[in-house]
Amino acid sequence: MSIANLTSRRFLLVAGLLLLLLVFLATFPLYTSRSDVLVLTIILMYIILTVSWAMFSGSTGYMSLAPAAFFGVGVYTAALLFSEKWALLPLPAVIVIAGIASFVLALLVGLVTLRLKGIYFAIFTFGLVVLIRQLLVFWELQIVGKRGQHVIAVSGDTVYYVMLGILVVTLLTVYLIRRSRLGLAMQSIGGNEEAAAHMGVNTTMVKVLTFGISAIFMGAAGAIMATRWIYVDPVIAFNVFYSFMPVLMAVFGGMGQLYGPVIGAAIFAYTERALRLQSPYYYMLAFGIILILVILYLPGGLVSLVPKLQNKLAGLISKFWKGGKAEQHANT
Amino acid sequence: MNPTIVWIVISGLMNGGIYALIAMGLSLQYGVARVINLSHGEFIMFAAFLTWTLYTGFGINPLLSAAISGPLLFGLGFLIHRTIFTSLRNRSPSPAAFEGNSLLVAFGLYFVIQNVALLIWGGQPRAYYYLFHGVELFGVTFVVNNLIALVISVGLGAAFFVFVARSRLGRAIRAAAQDPVTAGLMGVNINFVLPLCFGLGALMAGVAGLLASMCYPISISMGMNYTVIALIVVALGGLGSIPGSFIGGFILGLVGSVVAHWQPALSMVAYYAIFMFLLLVRPAGILGKA
The rounded distance, in Å, linking the Cα atoms of A147 and A121 is 31
Q: What is the pTM of this model?
A: 0.85
* Residues of chain B neighbouring A248 (CB-CB closer than 8 A): 107
* Residues of chain A neighbouring B111 (CB-CB closer than 8 A): 244, 284-285, 287-288, 291
Interface residue B282 vs chain A (CB under 8 A):
no
Interface of B with A in 58-77 (CB under 8 A): none
| DSSP symbol at B85 | I
* Mutation target among B36, B115, B252 for the A interface, most CBs of A within 10 A: B115
The rounded distance, in Å, linking the Cα atoms of A31 and A258 is 29
Please provide the average confidence, as pLDDT, over all residues in chain A: 85
Calculate mean pLDDT across residues B32-43. Answer: 90
Cβ within 8 Å of residue B9, ≥6 positions away: B254, B257
The rounded distance, in Å, linking the Cα atoms of A148 and B190 is 52
B199-253 pLDDT tens trace:
999 999 999 999 999 888 899 888 888 998 998 898 888 877 888 888 999 999 9
Task: Write down the pLDDT at residue A229.
Answer: 86
Checking if the pLDDT of A165 tops 90, the result is yes
Is B253 exposed, middle or buried (CB count within 10 Å of its CB: 0-12, 13-18, 19+)?
Answer: buried
The rounded distance, in Å, linking the Cα atoms of A304 and A195 is 27
Calculate mean pLDDT across residues B241-269. Answer: 86
Better pLDDT: B290 or B203: B203
* Residues of chain B neighbouring A66 (CB-CB closer than 8 A): none
Task: Write down the pLDDT at residue A3.
Answer: 57
Q: Nearest residue on chain B to A63, judged by CA atoms?
A: B100
Checking if the pLDDT of A207 tops 70, the result is yes
How far from B151 is each of A82, A109, B161, B207, B246, CA to CA, in Å? 53, 38, 15, 13, 14
Residue B85 C-alpha, separation from nearest chain A C-alpha, in angstroms: 9
Res. B23 pLDDT band, cuts 50 70 90: very high
Calculate mean pLDDT across residues A35-55. Answer: 91
Q: Nearest residue on chain B to A138, judged by CA atoms?
A: B265
Interface of B with A in 99-118 (CB under 8 A): 99-101, 103-105, 107-112, 114-116, 118
DSSP B139-150: TEEEEHHHHHHH
Strand partners, B141: B136
CB contact under 8 A, A288 and B268: no
Calculate mean pLDDT across residues B2-13. Answer: 84
Domain residue extents for chain A: 1-31, 33-300, 304-332
Provide the 3-class DSSP secondary structure of residue B126: strand
The rounded distance, in Å, linking the Cα atoms of A183 and A250 is 18
* Residues of chain B neighbouring A118 (CB-CB closer than 8 A): 96, 99-100
B76-134 pLDDT tens trace:
999 999 999 988 888 888 777 788 888 889 988 998 999 999 999 888 888 887 777 77
Res. B45 pLDDT band, cuts 50 70 90: very high
Q: Nearest residue on chain A to B101, judged by CA atoms?
A: A295
Interface residue B273 vs chain A (CB under 8 A):
no
Q: Using CA atoms in the order B38, B229, B161, B70, what is the torsion angle rounded to 10 degrees?
A: -60
Calculate mean pLDDT across residues B179-202. Answer: 88
Identify which of A104, A98, A109 has the alpha carbon closest to the alpha carbon of residue A131.
A109
Cβ neighbours of B246 (radius 10 Å): 26
* Mutation target among A63, A119, A123, A275 for the B interface, most CBs of B within 10 A: A123
Residue pair B45/B202 in contact by the 8 Å Cβ criterion: no
The rounded distance, in Å, linking the Cα atoms of B263 and B87 is 46
The rounded distance, in Å, linking the Cα atoms of B56 and B128 is 7
**Cα A232–Cα B221–Cα B101 angle in degrees, nearest 5:** 100
Provide the 3-class DSSP secondary structure of residue A55: helix
Task: Write down the pLDDT at residue A100.
Answer: 94
CB contact under 8 A, B115 and A285: yes
Percentage of chain A with pLDDT > 90?
A: 23
Checking if the pLDDT of A203 tops 90, the result is no
* Residues of chain A neighbouring B265 (CB-CB closer than 8 A): 134, 137-138, 141-142
Domain residue extents for chain B: 21-223
The rounded distance, in Å, linking the Cα atoms of B128 and B141 is 20
End-to-end C-alpha distance for chain A, whole angstroms: 30
- A313 φ, ψ to 5°? -65, -45
Provide the 3-class DSSP secondary structure of residue B38: coil
A69-99 pLDDT tens trace:
999 999 999 888 887 766 677 888 889 999 9
Provide the 3-class DSSP secondary structure of residue A11: helix
Is domain A33-300 given the CATH code 1.10.3470 in the classification? yes
DSSP A120-137: HHHHHHHHHHHHHHHHHH
Of A126, A135, A288, the CB nearest to B228: A126
The rounded distance, in Å, linking the Cα atoms of A114 and B58 is 50
Taking each helix axis from N to C end, the angle separating B95-121 and A118-138, rounded to the nearest 10 degrees, works out to 40
Calculate mean pLDDT across residues A255-264. Answer: 85
Give Cα B71 to chain centroid, integer Å: 16
End-to-end C-alpha distance for chain B, whole angstroms: 40
Q: Nearest residue on chain A to B121, judged by CA atoms?
A: A281
The rounded distance, in Å, linking the Cα atoms of A185 and A206 is 7
The rounded distance, in Å, linking the Cα atoms of B134 and B147 is 10
